[in-house]
Amino acid sequence: MSMYEVSQALTESFVNLGLGITIAFENVNTDPANDETFVTLTTLPAMAESLGKRPIGDADQTNGIFQASFYTPSGTGYGEILQLVDTVLNAYKHTVTLTKNNQDVQIQNSGRNGLRNEDGWAIIDVSIEWFAYIDRT
């Protein structure tokens, strides 16, 4: 079990939502059209907490945030991204568990920030708080 599988569980579950917009993945060049709504995905792990003295065994609890940033051209309304945000928030509720190759990722919470305008884009960030037990191997 690994951080790679955690990232894959989060990313694959997002892709499986079938939102119908371009997804800009981490470390992959994406060039959406200037008038196209799209989303960027980022997995932000926090510090791991050692669980070696607990019944879990030789594992660390790793917490983090999976962030989906939705972009739509400024001045075109934001109803579309609000609907996309609602879909994501409904999919990543407290107690949801995602799994990839026996690696469980548990969702703790999800929420969004307010709309902001930047460089011609209206942007809403959705933050999904997660944790996973990762073996120390």
* Contact criterion met (CB below 8 Å) for 63 and 46: yes
The range of the structural domain enclosing residue 22 comes to 3-123
Please state the domain count of the chain.
1
137 has pLDDT over 80? no
Domain membership flag for residue 136: no
pLDDT per residue over 57-108, tens digit each? 677 888 999 999 999 999 888 899 999 999 999 999 998 999 999 899 999 9
Domain membership flag for residue 47: yes
pLDDT per residue over 25-54, tens digit each? 988 877 776 678 999 999 988 765 555 555
Dihedral sign, Cα of residue 91, residue 94, residue 95, residue 100 = positive
Domain membership flag for residue 81: yes
Domain membership flag for residue 109: yes
Domain membership flag for residue 137: no
DSSP state of 76: S
**Which CATH number does the domain housing residue 40 bear?**
3.30.2000.20
Domain membership flag for residue 133: no
- β-pair type (59-73, 121-135): antiparallel
Q: What is the pTM of this model?
A: 0.87
Domain membership flag for residue 54: yes
d(CA 102, CA 121) in angstroms, rounded, equals: 39
Domain membership flag for residue 85: yes
